[in-house]
Amino acid sequence: MNRPVTPPPFSKLPRAFYLRSTLTVAADLLGRYLVKRTLTGRLVGRIVEVEAYLSAMDPASHSYNGKTPRNEVMFDRGGHLYVYFTYGMHFCSNVVTGEEGTGHAVLLRAVEPLEGTDAMRKSRGLKSSGKPEPLLTNGPAKLCQAFSIGRSENGLDLLGNTIYLTTGEPCPRSSIVRSRRIGIRKGVEHRWRFFVKGNRFVSRP
């Protein structure tokens, strides 16, 4: 077998990708591929929507009040996965950015399913049908369910071989839309949400 982990022309994003400023990373995440390797195959999705959370300057961020048992992964070095449980039933996943101790992260809000869509449908509890549908992964908790991302994935290093991001198809700046984040009630809200213009897999237009 020995099938390559990242078949050309896609390669795993390097540590340096995640160590840049959070807003830069957020915008640059659009178009990249989220990959999860499982026992039965790969799950792949193209990132089309993200939100940045900026620690001490951001009342809406879990890291606003410093490190706690729940958010400690946010303070890891950039390139780790922060997964949290919310509303008693949902998981959401973030990419940690910046140097160790900063507490910044980018929430993955939506991806376009590219590979492993049958497994995603099964994980989502949806009936089989033909083409990939936005319902599979057009929300932060939906994509976690589709990719089976939960407590055991919290803290994973994205430079490992379980879950990682690849170069994918970087989104041209002209196709990036910036808006206020969704569902934020604390503090004065910022335009720290980024999504691919006109993409039908985005959670909300």
Partner DNA sequence: CGACCGATTGACT
Partner DNA sequence: GTCAATCGGTCGG
Q: At its nearest, how many Å lie between DNA and the CB of residue 11?
A: 26
Q: Applying CB under 7 A, does 166 fall inside the site for DNA?
A: no
Site membership for DNA, residue 28 (CB under 7 A): no
Q: Shortest gap between Cβ of 6 and DNA (angstroms)?
A: 26
Residue with tokens 């390139």: 79
Scanning residues 103 to 122, which ones bind DNA (CB under 7 A)?
105, 107
Cα four-point dihedral sign 184, 165, 77, 157: positive
Cα→Cα distances 104→9, 39, 68, 119, 129, Å: 30, 32, 14, 31, 38
Q: Which two tokens stand for residue 73?
A: 């992964």
Tell me if 69 contacts DNA by CB under 7 A.
yes
Task: Examine residue 65 and tell whether it contacts DNA (CB under 7 A).
Answer: yes
Site string for DNA, 172-191 (x = CB under 7 A): ---------xxxxxx-----
| Spatial contact of 203 and 109, defined as CB atoms under 8 Å apart | yes
Nearer residue to DNA within complex by CB, 20 or 180: 180
- 127 lies in the binding site for DNA (CB under 7 A): no
Which residues contact DNA (rule: CB under 7 A)?
A: 51, 53, 60-63, 65, 68-71, 74, 82, 84-90, 92, 94, 105, 107, 124, 135, 139-142, 181-186, 203
